[in-house]
Structure 1
């Protein structure tokens, strides 16, 4: 019986092998970031661990910053998937916002190297390409849509969709993440001193934008 690979077009097999090498290189880069710091990745070390000569690595990545760009894209995609899984079964409005916030903070402390690349600027001179950063902008648009739904449902005041409110929301989440990673990098989401404040921080945030005479208490899980 023919194997699945034998029936694949040669070009498809080459593309699959290429993607497998890229994925392995990125896995290695994450491992290096976890042990040597986010700025500690080098083309030579990735190549060494892949078992190839450094010039061969440039067939897959044009530069070290291209590696970081691919890592940034991976972080965006995986954090977005974590948030999507958390909010999918929930009704729109504040319940989804709370769930997405928890999911993002949890993902960040469980993936500290990628989280630092997304939320800090640990690599001198590196900025994601416009194409890669566009995914981050889409995440912000999705958050804005969730806030707009909460306003329509009467959970929050109209101010909640203002640029200032969304900036404050990112400050709350990035603050929780940054404090946790900086002070207790080995702690998990459930046991972290700072991640343990997630619900309280969200309560304070939503109190600022709760409708007059109302409360979002009944929207908490």
Structure 2
């Protein structure tokens, strides 16, 4: 009798809070995945909540158990995309030479943007009116910035102006790759030239002696 009762319990476990939480998170992850699919089909701003609910076997009002609003859905997608970028960069073992490593990171960034145009639009362009990512959604982006800062310092690019210039040029490479050669490597192949030019420029400026301001003496008669 005891064995039979144990067997019945094992076959019909009580739904604990942890189990419900795992189911909720799994469903939420599926909704996010399907939202990406709909965005690739219809555009980011064209995501239909009704179609999204249908794709995960829910009624549209039931989506609000997972996301408070459509902007909340975009926030979750933003965090998911930033997490993908961070995971990708952390998955690879850093190269021993700092310059080679920085080139590899730039190549990864440009390829990452080109592989999914919709994801690029959400992460790196202001495509959604009134959308501002939350602090939680920005957390993987902050971790990625920390990772990039380490790579830049190792290549002697730590002046704020150098970092801003690096960011602007790499963003330009990614935008050009997405707009003109999505899935290709035309602008990916420029990564080494860009990094070498920036490092050489920083080295040249750091070696250049600082000019002392000249003072003009007034000659009185």
Give TM-score, length-normalised by structure 1.
0.79
- Contact 1:29 1:46 (8 Å CA) reproduced: yes
Q: CA deviation at 1:126?
A: 0.5
Do the aligned residues in 1 keep the contact of 2:67 with 2:73 (CA within 8 Å)?
yes
Note the residue ranges of structure 2 that are not aligned, 5 or more in a row. Answer: 1-6, 208-221
Aligned partners of 2:168 and 2:37: how far apart in 1? 28
Over 3 Å counting, the alpha-carbon distance change for 1:168 and 1:113 in structure 2 is same
Q: Which runs of 5+ in 1 are unaligned?
A: 152-159, 215-221
Select which of 193, 205, 209 maps to 2:202.
Answer: 209
Structure 1 counterpart of 2:180: 183
Q: How much has 1:5 moved relative to structure 2?
A: 9.1
Question: What value does the CA root-mean-square deviation take over the aligned residues?
Answer: 2.7
CA contact (8 A) 2:35 2:52 kept: yes
Report the CA distance between 1:130 and its aligned residue.
Answer: 2.0
Q: How many pairs are equivalent? A: 200
Task: Give the match for residue 48 of structure 1.
Answer: 54
Does structure 2 conserve the Cα–Cα contact (< 8 Å) formed by 1:84 and 1:100? no
8 A Cα contact 2:44 2:118, kept in partner: yes
Q: 2:147 aligns with which of 120, 142, 150?
A: 142
Equivalent in 95, 98, 118 of residue 93 of structure 1: 98
Aligned with residue 188 of structure 2, among 192, 195, 216: 195
TM-score (norm 2): 0.79
Could you tell me how far 1:80 is from its partner in structure 2? Answer: 0.8
Give the deviation of 1:7 after TM superposition: 7.0
What are the residue-to-residue correspondences of 1:122-133 with 2, within 5 Å?
122-133=127-138
Q: Which of 50, 56, 60 does residue 66 from structure 2 map onto?
A: 60
Q: Would the alpha carbon gap of residues 51 and 107 (structure 1) be closer, same or farther in structure 2, given more than 3 Å must change? A: same
The CA distance in 2 between the partners of 1:178 and 1:32, in whole Å, is 22
d(CA) in 2 for partners of 1:163, 1:25: 40
Which one has the largest radius of gyration?
2
